[in-house]
Structure 1
Amino acid sequence: MGTQARTTSRRVREARAQAQKRTQTRHRYAAIGGGAIIVVLLAAIAFVLVDAARGEQSAAPAPSSTAVPAGTTAGGAIVVGSGPVTVTVYLDYLCPFCGRFERANSAELERLVADGTVRLELHPLAFLDDKSRGTRYSTRTANAVATVADQAPRVVLTFSDALFAQQPGEGGPGLTDEQIASIAAGAGVPTDVAATFTARRFEHWVASSTDAAFQRDGVTGTPTVKVNGKLFDGDLYTAGPLTAAITAAKGSA
């Protein structure tokens, strides 16, 4: 074999060796990359399963019960007090603006209920369920408040206040059923009443009341507040303006 032929043969062998080396390298990187992808996928699956397990007991389907809480109106309101001025409040326990309204006005509203000025009509809605990662937090808390209104009405406002005091943020799973029951106990709700929250007895009522608020009452968001049926368009997030409107309504009654 001549020198040129040997040189050509050597170059062919070297090219093949380099090509094989590149192929092996690609396979090695592909295996590493594939392993990394598998690890990521397994981690994602594990996260979903853990998250689902966390919310499973909270995301139970609504029962077929059409029970209505005692002491509520045909329009879906929980009534507290019997004063001459009717204050109607539409709220969702996951709504951050409702939390701001509560912090500014709850003490005054409770005072005005206690002194016989206000008949408070509370509408607990559940339109933010899609903001609690499948646990239906708005529905669960509204059902809990309805349960207390039905069985322990004396402490329903205290319980409502307590829920807002520990309000979770939108986008998370919300509080668990056990945490809601614990808050209820701290607000004076009897243990046997809090134990019935998971029965979801008033979820159908909550859903119907929520639909009625938007379709019949013209509610477009929460909080929505009315004084003697007229929309209050003043400052909802500062103490004082709502009280002034209530006082004026009482004077003109």
Structure 2
Amino acid sequence: MMKLVTWNVNSIRQRCDHVLDYLTREQPDVLALQEIKCATDIFPADTFTQAGYDCTVVGQKSYNGVAILSRQPFEVTHTGLPGWETDPPQARYVEIGTGRLVVGNLYLPNGNSGGSAGYDSKLAFMEALALHARSMLEAGQDFVLMGDYNVCPTDEDYAAGALPPTDALVRPESRAAFRRLLWLGLTDALRALHPTGRFYTFWDYQAAAWQRNSGLRIDHALLSPRVAERLLTALPARDERGKAQPSDHVPLAITLAAGAAA
């Protein structure tokens, strides 16, 4: 069995102990982190190496940033999303190969800041992601694309009143871009096992969102066809949000039957 987890930690320096505690308890094979909010050279890699995890980091001072921690041997295949570039650069994608499985870790732009250009950048990222997924599918590659997509795919994926209809996370264009990934043949891991129900991965720090359970499902794991056949479980670790000084996101964990990385 292989366990893969995605988690937007909203500052690794503030949440390092939380991540280390999670690794110790849950022992994932791969942990994909987003919004680490630090330059690569100050990421606490030594802390995680001592816990048995090698790291690859694409950092950025104060903003964005992605990292992958793995107990399995891996090679880095991309340190940015092919076909998506910004000026100045934004650290929003890193990808590894472990065994015969590719794991892409993404932090998709929110799209609510920067006016129309900011939203266009979000859609451009999703277009590039779809093209990259299609190229891997055509090559027969097994892969998982996981991370903070900043998209609520349906109305069931956010609490009533949590977002206005004009929010970039629920705009028709955002949802259509997410559906395009599914129409390529990818599987939304959580919805494959839990077709209905409210499973949130994010609760804002404001307006007592956690206490009122006014959440969003915006962290996703999308699986290529052969990987989806091995899917066993997919659930957010909701209890993480109730801890002291938590991230506003919680881990989303999936498990795959043996063979997905063979």
The bucket for the TM-score relative to the shorter chain is under 0.3
TM-score of the aligned structures, taking structure 2 as reference length: 0.23
Work out which structure has the larger RCO, using CA pairs closer than 8 Å and 6 or more positions apart in sequence: 1
Task: Identify the structure with the greater helix proportion.
Answer: 1
TM-score of the aligned structures, taking structure 1 as reference length: 0.23
Task: Identify the structure with the greater strand proportion.
Answer: 2
